[in-house]
Amino acid sequence: MTETRFEPRIVGFFCNWCSYRAADLAGTARIKYAPNVRVIRLMCSGRVDPTFVLKAFACGADGVMIAGCHPGECHYLNQNHKTMRRHALLRHTLRALGVADERLRLQWASAAEGAQLAQAVDEMVAAVRAAGPLQWPRHLREDAPGLDGLQRAAQARDRAAGAPHGEARA
């Protein structure tokens, strides 16, 4: 990483059928774009639990891109409409938390739109670079004493409830 320029870390949640394939196509077509979006493949953008996005920020992401099929072209009929709803609510919530809009982007890309996806990535990287580092982990650490207390309380509650899986939470 160069010292002169801030290289944002952006987590991409891409659906298996359209947007992940669009990214594949961008590569196959040797379209060059910023390497700052690191892609996690999910079957559908509808799988993007809002807590995934919060977890990514908590783990140090400076931005999150959710990418799915165009409305009407979802491989699961209309699950990307649910993504749209969640995205609207999540954006509202993030605003309340002081997270700038450009740090969360919802992008439609059909499997044929490698160039468009690459362009969207470049745009987002430029916008997040301008916004600067988010640094949630540092803030979390500074608030750690209070958080630890909360976490202990939550764990105690889980133990009392006999949570079967102990599913990971951000």
Partner 1 sequence: MTGGNGGDRPRVGVYVCHCGTNIAGTVDVESVARWAGESLPGVAVAREYKYMCSSLGQDLIQQDIEKEGLDRVVVAACSPHLHEKTFRRACAKAGLNPFLMQMANIREHVSWSAEDRALATDKARAEVAAAVRRVEHHRPLEPVKVPVNPATLVVGGGIAGIQAALELADAGYPVYLVEREPSIGGHMAQFDKTFPTLDCAACILTPRMSEVGQHENVTLMAYSEVEEVTGYVGNFHVRVRRKARFVNEATCTGCGVCIEKCPQSVVDEVFEAGLGYRKAIYRPFPQAVPKFPVIDKAACTYFQRGKCKACEIFCGPKSIDFQQQDEVVQIEVGNIILATGYELFDSRRLPQYGYGRLANVFTSLEFERLCNAAGPTNGKIVLRDGVTEPKRIAIVHCVGSRDKNTNEYCSAVCCMSALKFGHLLMEKTGAEVWSFYIDMRPLHKGYEEFYHRLLDEGMRFVRGRVAEVTDAAREAGEEGRLIVQYEDTLIGKQRRLPVDMVFLMGALEPRRDSKQVGLRFGLSCSMDGWFIERHPKLDPVATMTDGVFIAGTCQGPKDIPDSVAQGAAASARVQGMISKGSVLVEPVVASIADERCSGCRICNTLCPFNAISFDAEAAVSRINGVMCKGCGTCVAACPASAISGAHFDDTQVGAEIEGILWDALPERGMAEVTP
Binder of partner 1 out of 4, 35, 96, 97 (CB under 8 A): 35
Binding flag, residue 168, partner 1 (CB under 8 A)? yes
Minimum separation from the CB atom of position 38 to partner 1 (A): 5
* Alpha carbons 128 and 63: distance in angstroms, whole number: 7
* DSSP H/E element including 41: strand 37-42
Binding flag, residue 91, partner 1 (CB under 8 A)? no
Minimum separation from the CB atom of position 91 to partner 1 (A): 16
* Alpha carbons 73 and 92: distance in angstroms, whole number: 26
* Alpha carbons 33 and 128: distance in angstroms, whole number: 15
Residues that bind partner 1 (rule: CB under 8 A) add up to a total of: 57
Report the site for partner 1 in 12-31 (rule: CB under 8 A).
17, 20-21, 23-28, 30-31
Residue whose CB is less far from partner 1, 1 or 96: 1
Q: Which three-class secondary structure state does DSSP give residue 9?
A: coil
